[in-house]
Amino acid sequence: SGSRTNIAIKIFGDDLNELYRIANDVHDVIEGVPGIGDLVVEPLIETPQLKVVARREMLARYGIPVNEFAQFVETALGGIHVSDVYINEMKFPLVLRYNDETRSSADGIRAALIDTYDGGKVPLSLVADISSSSGPHEINRENVRRKIVVSVNAAGRDVGGLANDIRREVESHITLPENYRIEYGGQFESASRAGRRIVFASLLAILAVFMVLYNEFRNSTLSWIVLLNLPLALIGGIFAIRFTSGVISIPGIIGFITLFGIATRNGILLISRYLHLEDEDTDLKARVIHGSADRLNPILMTALTAALALVPLAMGGQKPGNEIQSPMAVVILGGLLSSTLLNIFVIPVVYFITNRGSKKMSEPKPISDSNN
């Protein structure tokens, strides 16, 4: 976007003064939006200038083409690089232009001599109007159109939500003249693109996890039961964000992806134990109770180990260099808490309900006749 700020409100048009007026109107409209930290209108600094405007009738009288006039002004006042001079293996540019005494004052420029068609010379003031004025220090353009930028940095709020609020305020209060338009850029564009890519990658990861589970259990119902841990983990992760920063950032989304793997593992531990006990022809209710009790310690131990390792990262969010690790650790901690507690109750209940109608009926064994 050409701007290092979180949000860049770019106003395009032809007249610089009109652009500056619109930019200040935008500033006044959005300065009350919650979450704005820094709000700066790109300064339009006026600097003194000396305008040299050709008199075309006088140029024609003295036989001076306009392009030669422009080349003379550029060479005499600005200078032109004609060669290089080497001194002791060092290169210095050789620039052709008038001396500093002539170029440093308006009178000296007016008295500068320009060649005519017949080899004569006339003062520059005779074929051009030379006047003092002021103009902008610089003119920024994008795609050949002039622009001025209103820079916004977020403070204590997600950049995407702030950009949407700013867009609504501008669209409802600012009326643009014809051939003027507003575009929005800045770092939030990159964050939005990264967020969309990570969400797409998350969906692919969930699909890949389901395929792996189906390949293991050969049962789509059991695979979906294991994936129930994902919303259970989401509950804790979202509440952890809500009561800490309140911002769903890219590190937070990465934390959710990591959390999905941990939560899925807990479900696999339970389901695999249930299936192992099923081979022993145990009753469904006893199988669920016994299997859940067997896997309670491993699930709690793995969750506690991961949580203890993440606590220092979550607590050190204000330390330099910890801006990425801390939001990710907060999400994983919250998701571990909810998925571990709910996994112990929800997965056994769902497994019991889905398998209640398909429990095996034990067939009576034939009575052997000792006389036969």
Tokens matching residue 177: 């003249």
Q: At residue 98, what are phi and psi to the nearest 5 degrees?
A: -70, 160
Q: How far apart (Å, rounded) are the C-alpha atoms in residues 67 and 69?
A: 5
Q: Could you tell me what percent of the chain has a pLDDT over 90?
A: 6
* pLDDT tens figures, 85-103: 998 888 998 988 888 888 8
**Residue 366: pLDDT band with limits 50, 70, 90:** very low
Predicted pLDDT at 371? 42
Whether the Cβ atoms of residue 52 and residue 73 lie closer than 8 Å to each other: yes
Give the residue among 264, 277, 9 at the shortest CA–CA distance from 148.
9
Between 20 and 368, name the one with better pLDDT.
20
Report, as an integer, the average pLDDT of 265-269. Answer: 82
Predicted pLDDT at 101? 81
Predicted pLDDT at 358? 60
Please, which contacts does 53-58 make with residues 24 or more away whose CB atoms are closer than 8 Å? 53/128, 53/129, 53/130, 53/131, 54/127, 54/128, 55/127, 55/128, 55/129, 58/126, 58/127, 58/128
Whether the Cβ atoms of residue 178 and residue 191 lie closer than 8 Å to each other: no
* pLDDT tens figures, 301-353: 888 888 888 888 878 766 766 667 888 888 888 888 888 888 888 888 888 88
